[in-house]
Structure 1
Amino acid sequence: MTIARKLMLTMTAMGASAGQAQEAVPVAGQLHNAEAIAGFLQRLPDARMAPLSIIQIGDSHTAGDMITNGWRKAWQAEYGGAGRGASAVGRPYQGYLTWGVTARQSANWTVQAAFGRQRRADGPALGMTGFTQSARTAGATMTLSADSADFAFDRFSLCGLTGPDKGAVRVAMGDVAQDYSFAAEQTGAICYDTASPAPVMQVSITTQSERPVDLTSWESKHQGGGIILANMGVIGARLGHFARNDDAVLGVELRHARPDLLTIAFGTNEGFDPSLKIEDAEATLRAQILRIRRLLGYDVPVLLLGPPDAASSRPDVARPDMAETTTCGNGWAVPGNLARMRQMQMRVAQDMGLAFWDWQQAMGGPCSSSLWVAQGLQRGDHVHFSAEGGRRLGEALARDLDQARQSLGK
């Protein structure tokens, strides 16, 4: 009997016994090799006194901020919130979503991206967000506003590219206004910090001349303790696209952010590629972890999120010829390469000393996406999540991490 058939029979039996359809409830206990991030978990109870920073890089699941927002809200309620953290500057694409803060910008900015139609081979260098926003005129503006008092901030950071021809911006934050120049003898990157004596709800950036300004990330937070969870996602991206981010820029931004935990959440786009070369995906995963740690200058604890349960109705993507493919019924199947990606990530996590959260099993296993879709928790594409679905899974991840901390005796 296939895994999918077992799952369907189990759900049917449970639903019948309850007199109604089975509810999609996350399955607890999906964190593996928690010892790899024990040092980070040990510090959680003291986060209100010593803030902790988490950076997640990933694909559209991370860009959409559904799961990360569920995790963020759960932990900021439990351990205190230190702000929204770093993100891409402005609104790099239509439909860009951020929970807790809202960005706006004038029309005279252009975008360079690590992936997709906004990608230009001759475009400006990229940093950790995978987006660079450029202006070549005076008076180009951007604003970042807190959506509520919970995300008011008194610390703001702005990172951008440096070089001999670069221009300057004015940062206005409450009663504080400061001009920052990106002109430098050598090309590279720099991050500027602005502080306000009292929390503010908005900061604005204005270019000061026609000299080029290229901004790569910004960060809002407040002085004191709590959790910061920043999501750096690019729609459609694979981890290999992260390699396009410039070492010099990425290094400056990472060292400025100094994450206490790095979360890597790729695998869906790789798994939906029918011609996936798993050995290349593994080599990329290993190389990018080593690269990030080298640029940071310390062995940041790493948590891998395996790809969620997802399905395709296209045989060329699902690859029914592969033994790893699971048929779910109604024309949907979990691609065999998605299973191979998850297995590879688990193997690498064990080998490199990384923690691993099994997102697919947290949903209920292969073909569970059908139930999540039916209950409006996952989109009709059987890939992306609604806000409610993301909240449930983000909270489930937070609970698994908390349980691991308690089990480790911390």
Structure 2
Amino acid sequence: MAADEHEGLLDGEERKVKVDLTRDEEAGGSYPPGTFRKVIGAMVGLGLAIGLTYAVPAPQVAAEAAKESAVASALTTCMESAPGLAGLSCLHLVRPWTLETDPDTGEFKYVPFWNLIGRELLGMGQAAEVADAEAKEAVAVAREEAEKAEVEEFKEVEVRATPVQEDEKVPPLAPHEDDAQPVEVPLERPEALDRFYAALTRTHLGLPGAITRAMHYGDSAIGNDGITGAIRSKLQARFGDAGHGFHLLGQPNASYRHQGVRFDEKSPWQHCFIIFDCKKDGYYGVGGTTFESAGGAEIRLSTAQKGPMGRKVARYEVWYAGLPKGGKLRLRLDDQEPVELDTAAEQLEDRWHVIETDDGEHTLSVRAAGGGKVRAYGVAMERTVPGVVYDEMSQIGALTRRMLNFDAEHLQRQISRRDPDLLVLMFGGNDMNTQGTMEKYKAEYSAVIQLFRKADPLLPCLVMAPLDHGERDGSGKIVTRPIVTKLVQAQREVAQTEGCAFFDTYEAMGGSGSMGRWVRSSPALGAGDLSHLTHHGHKVVGAMLYRSLMQGYVDYRKRVAGTPVKALAEN
């Protein structure tokens, strides 16, 4: 056998060895005298030693050190502060079980000291403490967000009545309580978002018609409008609610559900989702799904009845297609007389229809009324007041490259119509199961960004890294899948190449092994599949991105303070 080869379990011939643990003269005899007495004595001695660790009260200095330091360093600190026989008081640090109160749950927990000191002996203590601290911080954020959600109310933003003067300057940014919160991970290249921040400044100043729009595309990580809904609510609470934004004409899957809007699919439409490459013409609409019906399909979109966002709408915009032998599309606002659109056209083309109404609570019905096949995409719900619109454009189950199924010119027209100030991309979760090199993946991601920015090559873009994805190792411990860090680094390089800002979601969660800690947290932030987040987890990641965005906004406002307000429109 070669030197570098190893004999496996199934290699080589079977070898049998007989082991005789007794000598012939002792066969069938009893154990030597005193054996059990020695064992019992050792057990009693061990029990007394353990009892002594509990009998000795802990000195105050030692107790404080144990709270703030690792076990090994705490023991050293205690012995130094209590020399001689007084050092016996430090025995509490080696109690087999320590009864502690979890600061997050308030429940008591038993912690074997060897689990703690063993990490120190293996050199993992400090890293473990940092990771645990990050997980607790995330839990604290989740609880804070949950408490806010219970008391948040719909707020109106004051609209400026006077026009901007020629010599008017951008005022310094007033302090805001959100800006005092810690930022887990700063944006990389936040200056790439200056045009977005300029739009946000116009909105913040209350200029008439100053609506800041963001479009957030991604895979199932943003499904159920979790992360996107959290960001939307925070931005709208601070800068104003300019409407819910874009909503598909139906549900391409069960995970497509939006917050801040009421959706009722009275009769479902047939749909074609971009990830299946089911439309060879590449016309999927801005939301990535096309809906068709020869008659009878109907959906209703209404303003929200509760919560801090989506309570009013003043403008419905229906996105549909003109096509040969197209049928009728019937639109009905509240109880008003319906409007019928003839979708017939000489060739496939993009169309839009706007319904304006008073700013308030409304319901729009969209129905295929027969006369031929109707093809439509969705509805945008907005207001006319200054504020933020944050579109959730989830592509559940999509590989990054699936976005290349769009017809380039069609997507260009669709995005131009939406007129966004920010493009956010969060893909990668499904790319972890594919084969291929990182160079190929980077080329695909760059192609996607270039496709989405074809209509506006300078459109501010933000690449949001994927969530940590876990798997169980041989011992059952949840560890980060090796592909995660490779994808994160690949996306970081793509963002830099394409001139986009970058948010490291993976590091914001806590880096290596963070999904395991999020799954075990209370409340749970990570889902049981070790790849997705819970409702609380969505809130945390949304809050993390919001704080990073606002850190960039604060820096931008410092740079433009004192410059002409009118110059903001030129950014």
Partner of 1:341: 487
Superposed CA deviations along residues 139-168 of structure 1, whole A, max 9, x for unmatched, are 321111222374121101111222121112
Q: Does 1:407 align with 2:524?
A: no
Q: CA deviation at 1:128?
A: 2.4
Deviation at residue 398 of structure 1 after TM alignment: 0.8
2:467 pairs with one of 308, 312, 331: 308
Establish whether residue 256 from structure 1 lines up as the match of residue 454 from structure 2: no
For residues 356-378 of structure 1, what are the alpha-carbon distances to aligned partners after superposition, in whole Å with 9 as ceiling and x for unaligned?
00001111111111111112111
Alpha-carbon contact 1:72-1:229 (below 8 Å) kept: yes
In structure 2, relative to structure 1, the CA distance for the partners of 1:14 and 1:65 (3 Å cut) is closer
**Cα distance in 1 for residues equivalent to 2:554 and 2:474:** 37
Report whether the alignment pairs 1:10 with 2:127. yes
Which residue of 2 is the match for residue 237 of structure 1? 398
3-state secondary structure, aligned to 2:256: coil
Contact 1:60 1:235 in 2 (8 A): yes
User: What is the CA-CA distance between 1:9 and the residue it aligns to?
Assistant: 5.0
| 1:143 corresponds to 2:303 | no
Aligned partners of 1:6 and 1:364: how far apart in 2? 19
Residue 131 of structure 1 corresponds to 289
Aligned partner of 1:320 in structure 2 is none
Q: Structure 1 unaligned runs (5+)? A: 314-326
Return the match for 1:279 from 430, 435, 439.
439
Cα distance, 1:91 vs structure 2? 2.4
One-letter code of the match for 1:312?
A: E
- State the alpha-carbon separation in 2 of the partners of residues 407 and 235 from structure 1: 35
1:61 to 211, 215, 221: 221
Q: Distance in 2 between matches of 1:30 and 1:355?
A: 10
**1:384-410 Cα deviation digits (max 9, x unpaired):** 111211111111111111112222425
Within a 5 Å distance, the mapping from 1:103-252 to structure 2 comes to 103-115=263-275, 120=278, 125-137=283-295, 139-148=296-305, 150-151=309-310, 152-174=312-334, 175=336, 177-252=338-413
State the Cα distance separating 1:121 from its structure 2 match: 5.7
**Cα deviation digits, residues 326-370 of structure 1 (max 9, x gap):** x79624332222211110111122222110000011111111111
Q: Secondary structure at the match of 2:254?
A: coil
Which residue identity is paired with 2:421?
Answer: D
User: 1 CA distance for matches of 2:495 and 2:231?
Assistant: 21
- Report the counterpart of residue 316 of structure 1 in structure 2: none
Whether the aligned pair in 1 keeps the contact of 2:239 and 2:388 (CA below 8 Å) is yes
TM-superposition CA deviations, 1:194-253 (whole Å, max 9, x none):
111342331101222141111112111111110010011121102211111233432232
1:30 and 2:195 are equivalent in the alignment:
no
Residue 393 of structure 1 pairs with residue 510 of structure 2: no
- Is the 1:66–1:387 contact (alpha carbons within 8 Å) kept by the matching residues of 2? yes
Distance in 2 (CA, whole Å) between partners of 1:6 and 1:346 is 30
Q: Are residues 1:365 and 2:511 paired?
A: yes
Query: What amino acid maps onto 2:481 in structure 1?
Result: P
How many residue pairs get aligned? The number is 385
Q: Retained in 2: the 8 A contact 1:153–1:199? A: yes
CA contact (8 A) 2:218 2:427 kept: yes
TM-score, structure 2 length as denominator? 0.63
Give the residue type in structure 2 aligned to 1:389. G
**Displacement of 1:255 after TM fit?**
1.3
Aligned mates of 1:366, 1:329 — CA distance in 2:
17
* Range that drifts further, 380-389 or 247-256: 247-256
Does structure 1 conserve the Cα–Cα contact (< 8 Å) formed by 2:199 and 2:421?
no
Instruction: Give structure 2 stretches of 5+ with no counterpart.
Output: 1-121, 142-182, 560-571
Contact 2:225 2:259 in 1 (8 A): yes
Offset at 1:107?
3.3
RMSD: 2.6
Residue number in structure 2 paired with 1:293: 453
Conserved 8 A contact 2:221-2:467: no
Pairing partner for 2:197 from 41, 65, 68:
41
CA separation in 2, counterparts of 1:215 and 1:6? Answer: 60
Contact (CA 8 Å) 2:359, 2:383: kept in 1 or not?
no
Measured at CA, do residues 279 and 7 of structure 1 come closer, stay the same or move farther in structure 2, by a change above 3 Å?
farther
- Matching residue's letter, 1:130: G
The higher-RCO structure (CA 8 Å, 6+ apart) is 1
TM-score using structure 1 length: 0.86
Q: Distance in 1 between matches of 2:539 and 2:479?
A: 25
**Going by fraction, where is strand more abundant, 1 or 2?**
1
- Find the aligned partners of 1:302 and 1:84 in 2 and give their Cα distance: 21
Q: Check conservation: 2:185, 2:504, Cα contact below 8 A.
A: no
- Please report how far the alpha carbon of residue 8 of structure 1 lies from its aligned counterpart in structure 2 after TM superposition: 7.3
Report the Cα offset of residue 14 of structure 1.
8.0
Identity among equivalent pairs (%): 25
Contact 2:193 2:461 in 1 (8 A): yes
How far has the Cα of 1:75 moved from its partner? 0.7
- How far residue 260 of structure 1 moved from its aligned partner, in angstroms, is 0.4
